[in-house]
Amino acid sequence: MPLLSVTHIQQFVILGLWEMTEHPSEFPEWYEEACRRYRAEGRQREYVCVRALLRQMTDNDPSWTISHEQNGKPILQNGWDISISHTKGICSVIISPDQTVAVDIEYMSNRVEKIAHKFIRQDETADTIEEKLIHWSAKETMYKLYSDDRLGFEDMRLLPFTLQKQGVVLTENLRRSTTVEVSYEITPSYVLTYAVRS
């Protein structure tokens, strides 16, 4: 199993990463349902790998099940908060029993250059591909963290930060006039961001 990591980032916040290399049929427990939901093999793979990752994060407890609210937000039947993200070949899940959590993952690519003007504000600075991906991913994370606000890109602002392999970028929800620490990690394959709020 290509489990990349399971990390307790706080006492009751767990973050997992999984490299999605398997054929969906390698997970018979979820394969039939994945086929009913999706025709595309890639979507089926995402469906089964997210569930396999969650199983690894919860000590192989089969009682943890994912469903969705009407707006598409994933929820866990046991009441824990969950956020899910997947990109080219990798998925990520973050869970917590008592805090709101959010995660986003984006594969490393210069494709972000073509759309940067859509999500980087005039009062933000992002010169490198990595900085642009952090802006994109951090805002996706904030959108999930405040899902009820339905934030647009103009409603979020990243404060200036010094690029590192791992770090924190302060990100503002301008509608609420609040600031959240969004953690990030840069690898040669992807940029990962996640955040937690009480």
What was the pLDDT predicted at 70?
Answer: 81
Closest CA to 52 of 111, 106, 6: 6
Can you tell me the mean pLDDT for 79-86? 96
In angstroms, the CA 67 to CA 157 distance is 31
| pLDDT band at 131; cut points 50, 70, 90 | very high
Q: Taking the CA atoms of 112, 114, 119 and 122 in sequence, report the sign of the dihedral they define.
A: positive
With a pLDDT cut of 70, the percent of the chain lying above it is: 99
Q: Give me 65's structure tokens.
A: 């099940």
The CA R_g of the chain, rounded to the nearest whole Å, is 17
Strand partners for 192: 105, 185
Strand order in the sheet with 13-19: 3-10, 13-19, 90-96, 81-87
Q: Sort residue 191 into left (φ over 0), alpha (ψ -120 to 50) or beta.
A: beta
What's the confidence (pLDDT) of residue 63? Answer: 83
User: Model confidence at 68, in pLDDT bands (50, 70, 90)?
Assistant: confident
Mean pLDDT of 48-54: 96
Mean of pLDDT values over 150-170: 96
102 versus 67: which is more confidently predicted? 102
